[in-house]
């Protein structure tokens, strides 16, 4: 997957969050974006254990989660999208997670702090 420029990242984030006002609507917008843009199910690993990712939801705290099922079918759990091992993830998921990380970096930054004291 080719790396996105900062301008491309910002443009795609703005498209996801258009008309999303407040934290709840923003979380819902990210949930919809993951559901629309990432083809499920897909294979992944979680702490080295093979899992199948079945879908996405916005968690109670606004974080984006994916439902991961163990290959033996014995357990399904909602986990953060950040919890999946990086190796072998599909490009559409990596792209969306990159956008989410960029947005979270902006949200976690010191908005309004221009360093002038």
Q: What pairs with residue 53 in β-bridges?
A: 42, 68
Give me 80's structure tokens.
């953060």
| Angle (nearest 5°) at CA 33 between 17 and 27 | 55
Confidence band of 39 (pLDDT split at 50, 70, 90): very high
pLDDT tens-digit profile of 22-34?
999 999 999 999 9
Question: What's the pTM?
Answer: 0.84
**Predicted pLDDT of residue 1:** 55
Q: Region 39-48: what's the mean pLDDT?
A: 95
Segment 16-20 mean pLDDT:
94
User: Which residue in the block uniquely carries the two structure tokens 């990712």?
Assistant: 53
Rounded-to-integer distance, Cα 101 and Cα 16, Å: 13
Kindly report the backbone phi and psi dihedral angles of residue 96, in degrees, each rounded to the nearest multiple of 5, phi listed first.
-65, -40
The alpha carbon of 70 is separated from its chain's Cα centroid by a whole number of angstroms, namely 20
Which tens digits make up the pLDDT trace of 54-84? 999 998 887 999 999 998 877 899 999 999 9
DSSP alpha helices (H): ranges in 1-117?
A: 6-17, 22-37, 91-108
Domain locations in the chain as residue ranges: 6-105
């Amino acid at each position: 997957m080719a790396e996105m420029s900062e301008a491309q990242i910002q443009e795609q984030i703005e498209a996801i969050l258009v008309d999303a006002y407040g934290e709840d609507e923003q979380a819902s917008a990210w949930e919809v974006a993951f559901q629309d843009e990432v083809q499920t199910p897909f294979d992944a690993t979680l702490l080295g254990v093979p899992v199948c990712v079945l879908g996405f939801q916005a968690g109670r705290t606004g974080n984006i989660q994916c439902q991961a099922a163990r290959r033996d079918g014995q357990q399904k759990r909602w986990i953060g999208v950040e919890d999946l091992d990086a190796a072998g993830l599909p490009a559409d998921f990596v792209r969306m997670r990159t956008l989410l990380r960029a947005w979270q970096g902006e949200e976690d930054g010191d908005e309004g702090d221009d360093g002038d004291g």
